[in-house]
Chains A and B, each alone.
Chain A
Amino acid sequence: MSRYTSATDADREAMLERIGAGSIDELFADIPASVRLDRPIDLPAGKPEQEVYGYLRDLAARNTSAEDEITFLGAGMYDHYVPALVDALISRSEFLTPYTPYQPEVSQGTLQLMFEYQTAISELTALPVSNSTLYEGPSAVASAGWLARLENKRPRFLVSRGLHPHSREALATTSHGYGTAVEQIPLAGGVTDADALREAIGEDVSAVFLQQPNFLGAVEDLERLAPIARETGALLVVQVDPMTLGVLRPPGDFDVDIAVGEGQPLGNRLDFGGPSFGFFAAQERFLRRMPGRIAGETTDVDGRRGFVLTLQTREQHIRREKATHNITTAQTLNALAGVIYLSWLGRKGIVELGDLLLQRTAYARRTLTALDGVEALHDQPVVREFAVRLAAPVDRVIERCAERGVNPGYPLAADYEEHEDGLLVAITEQRTRADIDRLADVLGAAVAAEREAVHA
């Protein structure tokens, strides 16, 4: 079905005549007959718009989204409220439909928002330089690994077992190509084992990767860990949850070399895992090794302030095989959602929201661990997510809760064999005290029922 094209038969005829071709087939004469497709593509015929809408609406209806249940799922993406102004602004054609701003004179909107975004990320992380996004969180961690490789070519990466499992795996997948080995530093009491880190660190370590708060929700003692990580000249990379940076000390406080993270909590949808954005901030000395686009301020020939893509000689289209990264298309529209969201939250709001998460999370941990058969997996401070151990099979407990319209969280077993009984519970401002009480009610009943089932 012809769709979104305008060429009529008369147009086609006139155009072919101008070209000097007898038919459209002639235009494809360069394709050798032996590799031409001699049948139609084996796909259904095209459908009218309302049928496509209906089909996809029906598929969407088969998913249980955060609209349909009270969810405590987190583990890297969170069901925060996205204010209406984000949707309204990012859906404007002027932001939605341009390409990367290669012509700055007609791209000042995009370039300025990139500059504002970079400023916001610098402020959040307390690090001087930020790029204007990578794809998402775990690949941003992998990109920090590649920067470390360019920087010092040392053969080992040390990763905390508290680093998101997806980040650890993305780093391992990509570093396999250039031959840097990835070694894990275990957790002790829910946080990175400082003694094990001290034991493993050495002159041959390229970079150390930590997460704040770590995957189990625990606040890491960066004041203690950072000097150990940096003692032999390794780069220190910390993946941070941007939503906690109103209350938690930022990476810049600990002279972290690179801070990266998943930007989804900042005004982006869950979208079943993407698209979102990855942020990447660093110390000034890494500016010329940064991956991705960077917007910079300048002036035009009339002396007016304006913005351009800058330091482009780092990038693939100029430096090719010596580029600092291969990234081209990044996540600018998602960054726009991020900077609008941060402007909406504002200087006070990011602290207030952080504090709300902190208080509700503390309450949820107290409430859940008071239940029979539920205990804290660790006792470290937590901000927005915490791990518990259940005295009943976690998958079955989750099933029971789901039947009652509550998704109690993420089972840890698949990623942490040592925590087969672990459940990771995330709190957002959309989960009220009443929701938490409901979780306690449902979870307590589910654990009790499963324990009874075992005893029966």
Chain B
Amino acid sequence: MTATIFEKSVAGRRAFVAPEVDVPRDDDALPERFRRAEPPRLPEIAEPEIVRHYTTLSTKNFHLDKGFYPLGSCTMKHNPKLHERVAALPGHARLHPLQAPARAQGALQLMWELQRALAEIAGLPHVSLHPAAGSQGELAGVLLTRAYHEARNEHRHRILTPDTAHGTNPATVTMAGYEVVKVGTDADGGVDVDDLRSKVDDDVASLMLTNPNTLGVFDRNIEEIASVMHDVGATLYYDGANLNAVMGRARPGDMGFDIVHYNLHKTFTQPHGGGGPGAGPIAVSDRIEPYLPRPQVVRRDDGTFDLDYDRPESIGRLRGFQGNFGVFVRSYAYILSLGADGLADVSDTAVLNANYLMARLRELAGEHLPAAFDRTCMHEFVLTGGPMKKALGIRTADLAKRLLDKGFHPPTVYFPLLVDEALLIEPTETETKETLDAFAEAIAEILAEAAEDASIAKEAPHTTPVRRLDEAGAAKRPVIRQPL
């Protein structure tokens, strides 16, 4: 363990050299009663030690540039290095958000072009880049649904989410003032349409769906589902977490979705930064367009670009300024680099890689880790560790921890909730066949090892900077800041 930056602090040390106070001092500028008595106890430390501290911390992280990161539902694809270079151009990085539109034409044009590209990819005509992340995009989407119904003088109270949904979906529904109703899953892994029909009426505002869903399964009944929702005047919401599976093959707009959010930090490869930043643009159909957040980036008749605040029916803003522009630069660079063919190739290869890895794991580990739904998957798939637990006495968590010793990041574990001892595996398109083979073989080795001695996995990891941590202790007596 590395001492914290606060523990390394020594009174009198410093890195910052203040510019001189080059104006006549005004000692009455701030009356004493407003003045802070004791300065915040920030670290006192010189530059070399700051650099060494954070460099040392960084070495304790596993990261995508180092190795395979098949975290289901997170789309951990390669982050092209060009993107960091273009995002750092001073014309982007030092552009103030309140610069007059006439002097920010390059930025507005970039945003407008990105909107057009995203609209085409999703098959919906209107895009707002405003939301800060997928979860804020979801909230925007549900508030758009509310605005749409309110404009028709309808006051609906319930929103449906499948039992396979990401937790953000039901959490969003509550924050937007609706009640969550769960819809079941059929034997194929899709929405149970009979259950859906039994729960839909004109008090239902929307259905939030991921397609392919979190089981990695494309819902074949999507058109029927769309018509069930539209027949009662509800909207159909597309959680774009899994858009990486279908680019160039199918579009949410053509499937009947009214509102889509994209995760630019997944499909469009913004580096995840250990937990953000991301961006969560949304696309909508014509009937939802009037309610989009403001401001909206528009092109005026004279060809110039502008921020349009004059949107009287808008739900308003959910955040400051006009979006996570730095993320837009990276994602637009990605779209420019790949083009139409490249984006289609992304999804083709992502699906190929997932099916290949599923096939390899079926061969090497199918007895202990069978697929939860034995059918062609899309860009990710779910295995169940139930048989492994019964036969070998190790749990999915143990397998995951032992993978760390083998130099792999584990898949998403214990999600989706309806699969016992679940492993959700998403290899992405940027991994080689050799990497997929090595991962499948590593799992097979762990299972063989567990058959001999389960304790190795149960006590894993053995080679990481720290070993299993006492999470219960951390939650019972939370220490969430350095005592000073």
A63 near B107: Cβ-Cβ < 8 Å: yes
A360-B30 in contact given A1-B338, A103-B400, A105-B468 (Cβ < 8 Å): no
CB distance A115 to B348 under 8 Å?
no
Do B65 and A85 touch across chains, with their CB atoms under 8 A apart? no
Whether A274 contacts B42 by the Cβ 8 Å rule is no
Chain A 150-188 per-residue mask, 1 if CB under 8 angstroms from chain B, else 0? 000000000000001011011011101111000000000
Whether the pair B30, A219 counts as a contact (CB closer than 8 A) is yes
Contact residue among B74, B93, B335, B339 (Cβ-Cβ distance under 8 Å from A270): B93
Decide yes or no whether A57 CB sits under 8 A from chain B: yes
Q: Which of B38-91 contact A (CB under 8 A)?
A: 39-45, 47, 50-51, 53-55, 57-66, 69, 71, 74, 76-80, 82, 84-91
B345 with A170: CB separation less than 8 A: no
Query: From residue B352, how far is it (CB to closest CB) to chain A in Å?
Result: 6
Check A60–B106 contact: CB distance below 8 A.
Answer: yes
Q: Which residue in B35, B246, B249, B467 is a CB contact (below 8 Å) of A302?
A: B467
Q: How far is the CB of A451 from chain B (nearest CB, A)?
A: 22
Contact among A28, A52, A310, A346 with B471 in the assembled complex (CB-CB below 8 Å): A310
The answer to the question of B138 belonging to the interface, with a C-beta cut-off of 8 Å to chain A, is: yes
Closest chain-A Cβ to B447's Cβ sits at a distance in Å of 19
Residue contact A433 to B480, C-beta cutoff 8 Å: no
Does B399 reach chain A (CB closer than 8 Å)?
A: no
Are B40 and A103 in touch, CB under 8 angstroms? no
Q: Does A315 reach chain B (CB closer than 8 Å)?
A: yes
Assess whether B135 is in contact with A328, with CB atoms less than 8 Å apart: yes
Interface string of B13-44 (1 = CB under 8 A from A): 11110110111111001110111110111111
Most buried by A among B62, B123, B138, B170: B62
Q: Please report the C-alpha to C-alpha distance between residue A106 and residue B94 in the assembled complex, in whole angstroms.
A: 34
Contacts of B21 in A (CB 8 A): 355-356, 359-360
Contacts of B317-356 to chain A: CB distance below 8 A: 317-327, 329, 332-333, 335-346, 348-349, 351-353, 355-356
- Within the assembled complex, what's the spacing in Å between the Cα atoms of A234 and B140? 27
A323 located at the interface, meaning its Cβ lies under 8 Å from any Cβ of chain B in the complex: yes
> A129 within 8 Å of B by Cβ?
yes
Among A37, A46, A325, the residue within 8 A (CB) of B250 is A37
A310's partner among B315, B319, B474 (CB-CB below 8 A) is B474
Contact across chains for A381 and B78 when beta carbons are under 8 A apart = no
Is A99 a contact of B86 with CB atoms below 8 Å? no
Contact A96 B273 (CB under 8 A): yes
Q: Do B63 and A108 have beta carbons less than 8 Å apart? A: no
Point out the residues of chain A lying under 8 angstroms from B55, CB to CB: 89, 92
A250 to B483 CA separation, bound complex (whole angstroms): 18
Q: Is the CB of B96 within 8 A of A65?
A: yes
Closest to B272 in A: A99
Cβ of B352 and Cβ of A27 under 8 Å apart? Answer: yes
A326: CB under 8 A from chain B? yes
A432 to B23, CA, bound (A): 9
* Complex alpha-carbon distance, A433 and B23, angstroms: 6
Nearest A-chain residue to B142, judged by Cβ: A177
Q: A62-B106, A249-B35, A297-B479 are in contact. Are A343 and B45 (CB under 8 A)?
A: yes
Shortest beta-carbon distance, A10 to chain B, in Å? 9
A4-B77, A76-B320 known; A271 vs B470 contact (CB < 8 Å): no
Q: Given A135-B136, A356-B21 in contact, is the A7-B352 Cβ separation under 8 Å?
A: yes
In the assembled complex, the CB of A182 is this many whole angstroms from the nearest CB of chain B, namely 11
Decide: A66 and B94 in contact? CB cutoff 8 A.
Answer: yes
Closest to B3 in A: A305
- Check if B174 sits within 8 Å of A109, measured CB to CB: no
Interface status of A391 (Cβ within 8 A of chain B): no
B227 CB, min distance to chain A CBs, angstroms: 12
- CB of A454 closer than 8 Å to a CB of B: no
A35 near B222: Cβ-Cβ < 8 Å:
yes
How many angstroms from the CA of A35 to the CA of B37 in the assembled complex?
66
**A71→B279 CA distance, assembly (Å):** 27
The CA of A55 and the CA of B412, in the complex, are separated in Å by 38
A227 within 8 A of B: no
Nearest residue in B to A44 (C-beta to C-beta)? B339
Interface residues on A, range: 35 or more
In the complex, residue of chain B having the shortest beta-carbon distance to the beta carbon of A72: B96
Mask for A107-137, Cβ within 8 A of B = 1, else 0?
A: 1111011111011101110101110110111
Would A178 and B176 be within 8 Å (CB), given that A115-B482, A295-B480, A332-B275 are in contact? yes
Which chain A residue has the least Cβ–Cβ distance from B468? A301
Nearest chain B CB to A148's CB is how many angstroms away? 13
How many chain B residues touch A (CB < 8 A): the figure is: 209
A358 and B29 form a contact (CB under 8 A): yes
Residues on B with beta carbons closer than 8 Å to the beta carbon of A129: 480-481
Tell me the smallest distance from the CB of A87 to a CB of chain B, in Å. 8
Of B19, B23, B92, B142, which one neighbours A63 at CB under 8 angstroms? Answer: B92
Contact of B133 among A94, A302, A328 (CB under 8 A): A328
The stretch of A198-206, A334-342, A441-449 in contact with B is A334-342
Supposing A92-B55, A326-B171, A432-B19 touch, asked if A67 and B90 sit within 8 A by C-beta, the answer is: yes
Q: Is A275 an interface residue (CB 8 A)?
A: yes
* B429 contacts A97, C-beta separation under 8 Å: no
Q: Provided the pairs A316-B167, A326-B138 are in contact, do residues A118 and B481 lie with their beta carbons within 8 angstroms?
A: yes
Contact B276 A331 (CB under 8 A): yes
- Which of B65, B142, B277, B429 has the most chain A CB atoms inside 10 A of its CB? B277
Contact: B61 with A106, CB < 8 Å? yes
- Taking CB atoms, residues of chain B closer than 8 Å to A262 are 320
> With contacts A1-B342, A139-B318 known, is A95 near B58, CB below 8 A?
yes
B433 is contacted by which of A15, A108, A361 (Cβ under 8 Å)?
Answer: A15
Q: Is the CB of A274 within 8 A of B95?
A: no
Judge whether A371 is part of the interface by a CB distance below 8 angstroms.
no
When the two chains form their complex, are residues B401 and A28 in contact, meaning their CB atoms are under 8 A apart?
no
Interface of chain B residues 345 through 376 with chain A (CB within 8 A): 345-346, 348-349, 351-353, 355-356, 358-360, 363, 375-376
CB neighbours (8 Å) of A58 from chain B are 106
Which chain B positions have C-beta within 8 A of A221? 34
Contact indicator B92/A172 (Cβ below 8 Å): no
* Cβ-based interface call for A383 (8 A): yes
Q: Looking at the assembled complex, report how far the CB atom of A291 sits from the nearest CB atom of chain B, in whole angstroms.
A: 10
Interface residue? A298 (CB, 8 A): yes
Check B337–A1 contact: CB distance below 8 A. yes
Q: Report if A362 contacts B (CB, 8 A).
A: yes
Given contacts A133-B276, A347-B40, contact A174 B337 (CB under 8 A): no
A3 to chain B, nearest CB (A): 5
Q: Are B466 and A2 in contact (CB under 8 A)?
A: no
CA distance A363 to B138 in the complex (A): 46
Whether B337 and A271, one on each chain, are in contact in the complex, defined by CB atoms closer than 8 angstroms, is no
B100 in the interface (beta carbon within 8 A): yes
Q: With contacts A329-B133, A344-B15 known, is A223 near B33, CB below 8 A?
A: yes
Can you show 29 pairs from A to B with CB atoms below 8 A apart?
A6-B431, A7-B353, A29-B376, A32-B222, A52-B336, A57-B91, A63-B91, A87-B88, A100-B275, A101-B275, A106-B461, A106-B464, A123-B41, A137-B320, A138-B319, A177-B178, A269-B94, A270-B96, A271-B324, A273-B320, A296-B475, A322-B174, A333-B274, A343-B53, A349-B14, A349-B16, A360-B23, A381-B29, A429-B18
Known: A18-B359, A99-B71. 15 other contacts (CB 8 A): A1-B341, A5-B430, A35-B254, A41-B343, A45-B339, A107-B61, A123-B484, A246-B40, A271-B324, A273-B320, A317-B166, A326-B168, A329-B278, A339-B5, A346-B43
